[in-house]
Amino acid sequence: MRYVYETDAYGPDPIRDLYWSTTVPPVSLPTLHGSQKTDVAVIGAGFTGLSAAYHLGQAGVDVTVMDAQHPMFGATGRNGGFCCLGGGTISNASLDRLCGSDQRQLYRQAEKAAVDLVDQFISNHDLDVDRHSVGETLLAHKPKHAQDFPALQDEIQRDYGVTAEILEKPELRQNGLGGAFHGAITTPIGFGLNPQKYASELLQIAQTKGAKIYANTPALRIVPTTLGYDIATPNGTISCNKFIIATNGYSSEDMFPWMRARFLPVQSSVIVTRPITNQEQTAQGWTSAQMAYDSRFLLHYFRMMPNNRFLFGMRGGLHYTKRSNELIRQKIRHDFVGLFPAWRDVTIDYEWSGLVALNRSETPYIGEIPGYAGGYAGFGYHGNGVAMASYSGALLSDMVLDRIGTRPYPKAFQHIPTQFPLGRFRRYMLAPIYALAQSVDL
C-alpha cells in the first residue's frame, strides 16, 4: 500500500511506548481467511468503524469490521483523550458563506450532539473510562488572546447555549491553572477519558450486538459487483451490499481511488509523565483536573489524569525518520518545560505519535461516496475525533438504515472535500505554514 508519510509511520514503531496500551488488556481477534458474505462491511476499527458497527448491530444488521492492523491501532488508540467540541476548524463566518446561518447553527448542534452521544454511551453502559474534567479550558498564550475571550464567550453562548467562564491572569493559579498563561476561558461541554478504555468497551459491546471484527485484514481494493461489492483482502474476500470507509488519517492512497488526496494527514506527538506528587503540583500551581489547550496556532494540549500523570501533546512534523523523531522529542520536552518550569525534572515515562486528518473544507466529511451507491465514508476530524468520529459512525449507520433525520446532520458534513494538490507529497504544503506558525507563536 502507498501512504503519504514514510512507511514506518504506519507500523508499530510510533506506539512502542504508548501509555494507553498499558491500561487495557490486549484484544485477540482472528484474521479473515476465505470468503464471507455480510450486509455491511466496515473498513477500519477505530471510533468511526466501531461506532458504526455498534449502531448497525443494535438495529439487527449483519456487519463485518476489518482492520489492517488491529482495532484502535490508529488515532483512536493514541489520541489525547479529549472528548470535546470540534471535529472541524471552520469558522462561523465560513459556515455562513458555505451553507447559511441556519445550517451553521445545525453544525454547532451536531458538535454538541457528538459529545452527548459519547456521554450517553458511557453512562448507559456504566463504563469506567477514567473520566474527568468539566468541559475544556482554553488558555491564552499571549495577553491579546485573553482580550478576545469576552467576544468568544458571547459566541459560545450563541452556538451552544452555555455560559463559558472567563478567568483573568491573577485568578489562574488560585484555580489550579498555574503556568505561562495570560487568562482562561472554559466551555462547560466535554470531558477527558482514556480512549482505549472507551474504544475497548465499544468494541466488546459491538460484538455482543453481533458484529464480526477481524484484525490484520487490510482491504486491498473494493470491486463493484451486480449484488453490491467485493472487498479483497490478502487471505480472502468479503462480499457485501454496502460498505463504510472509516480509516481517516491512516487511509492508503491506492486502496480506494476516490479517497486519494481528499485528506491531509498531520503528525501529533504526546508524552505522559510519571505521577506528579501533590507537592510538585502545588509548586507549579497546576492542581486542576481540567483538560486544556493553549491559543497557539500549533497548539499544545494537556491534562492531569486521575492517577496524577500529566499528558502533554503538540502538533508538528513533516517526516517520520530517526532524525525528525529526535527533533520532535527535543521540542516537546522544551515546550513542556517552558509552560511548566517547576516540572523540568519530572520523568517522561511514555511517548508516542500518530496522524490526524484534515480536509480542505475544514469540516469532517460524513456521507455517501459519489458514484458508489451504498458506499459511505467518514473522515477528517481535525484532531478532535473522540466525539466526532463516534458521532460519524452513528450518522453513517443512520444512512445505511435510511434513518437520516434522527440526529443533526448539517450540510457542511455533506460537502465533498476537494483534493489537495501535490498528491502523495501534499504534506510538504505544511512546511511554510509551520514556519509561519512558529514565528507567530513566539
Q: How far apart are the first and last CA of the chain?
A: 39
Classify burial at 272, counting beta carbons within 10 Å of its beta carbon; exposed 0-12, middle 13-18, buried 19 or more.
buried
Contact 78, 15 (CB under 8 A): yes
Contact 244, 40 (CB under 8 A): yes
- Find cell 470531558 and name the residue: 191
Classify burial at 329, counting beta carbons within 10 Å of its beta carbon; exposed 0-12, middle 13-18, buried 19 or more.
middle
Q: What is the DSSP string of 371-404?
A: T-TTEEEEE--TT-HHHHHHHHHHHHHHHHTT-T
DSSP state of 248: G
Mean of pLDDT values over 348-364: 97
185 pLDDT more than 80: yes
In whole angstroms, give the CA distance from residue 140 to residue 187. 14
pTM confidence score = 0.97
In the prediction, which pLDDT does 442 show? 67
In the prediction, which pLDDT does 1 show? 82
- Same CATH topology for 7-80+196-264+360-437 and 132-192+265-356: the answer is no
Per-residue confidence band for 440, with pLDDT thresholds at 50, 70 and 90: confident
Listed range (128-142, 234-248, 423-437) with the worst mean pLDDT: 423-437
Among candidate residues 141, 18, 129, the one with its CA nearest the CA of residue 83 = 129
The tens digit of pLDDT for each residue in 137-180 reads: 999 999 999 999 999 999 999 999 999 999 999 999 999 999 99
Domain ranges of the chain: 7-80+196-264+360-437, 132-192+265-356
Question: Which option is the CATH number for 7-80+196-264+360-437: 3.50.50.60, 3.90.1260.10, 3.40.640.10, 3.40.50.1820?
Answer: 3.50.50.60
In the prediction, which pLDDT does 86 show? 95
Listed range (129-133, 229-233, 299-303, 430-434) with the worst mean pLDDT: 430-434
Mean of pLDDT values over 104-122: 98
For 437, the enclosing helix (H) or strand (E) is helix 430-440
98 pLDDT more than 90: yes
Mean of pLDDT values over 405-415: 96
In whole angstroms, give the CA distance from residue 184 to residue 171. 9
The residue type found at 114 is: A
254 pLDDT more than 80: yes
In the prediction, which pLDDT does 439 show? 78
The tens digit of pLDDT for each residue in 196-216 reads: 999 999 999 999 999 999 999
| CATH T-level assignment (fold) for domain 132-192+265-356 | D-Amino Acid Oxidase; Chain A, domain 2 (3.30.9)
CA 142 to each of CA 167, 178, 208, 286, 330: distance values in angstroms, whole numbers, following the listed order: 14, 15, 50, 19, 23
> Three-class SS of residue 208?
helix
Between 92-99 and 101-124, two packed helices, what is the crossing angle to 10 degrees?
110
Per-residue confidence band for 188, with pLDDT thresholds at 50, 70 and 90: very high
Strand partners, 379: 365
281, three cell numbers: 503540583
Strand partners, 337: none
Mean of pLDDT values over 393-406: 96
DSSP E strands: which ranges in 246-382? 264-273, 291-294, 300-304, 310-315, 348-358, 365-368, 375-379
> Three-class SS of residue 191?
strand
In the prediction, which pLDDT does 436 show? 86
The rounded percent of the chain whose pLDDT value lies above 70 is: 100
Among candidate residues 353, 347, 365, the one with its CA nearest the CA of residue 316 = 353
The residue type found at 290 is: Q
438 pLDDT more than 80: no
Q: Which residues contact 331 (CB under 8 A, 6 or more apart)?
A: 314, 316
Among candidate residues 164, 157, 159, 158, the one with its CA nearest the CA of residue 183 = 164
In the prediction, which pLDDT does 235 show? 97
CA 75 to each of CA 143, 268, 355, 417: distance values in angstroms, whole numbers, following the listed order: 33, 10, 6, 20
Phi, psi of 65 (to 5 degrees): -110, 135
Dihedral sign from CA coordinates of 245, 4, 88, 291: positive
CB-facing half-sphere around the CA of 431: CA atoms within 13 A: 7
Question: Which runs of consecutive H residues, i.e. helices, occur in 90-218?
Answer: 92-99, 101-124, 143-147, 149-160, 169-172, 195-208
Contact 397, 56 (CB under 8 A): yes
User: If you average pLDDT over every residue of the chain, what do you get?
Assistant: 96
Strand 136-139 to 291-294 pairing: parallel
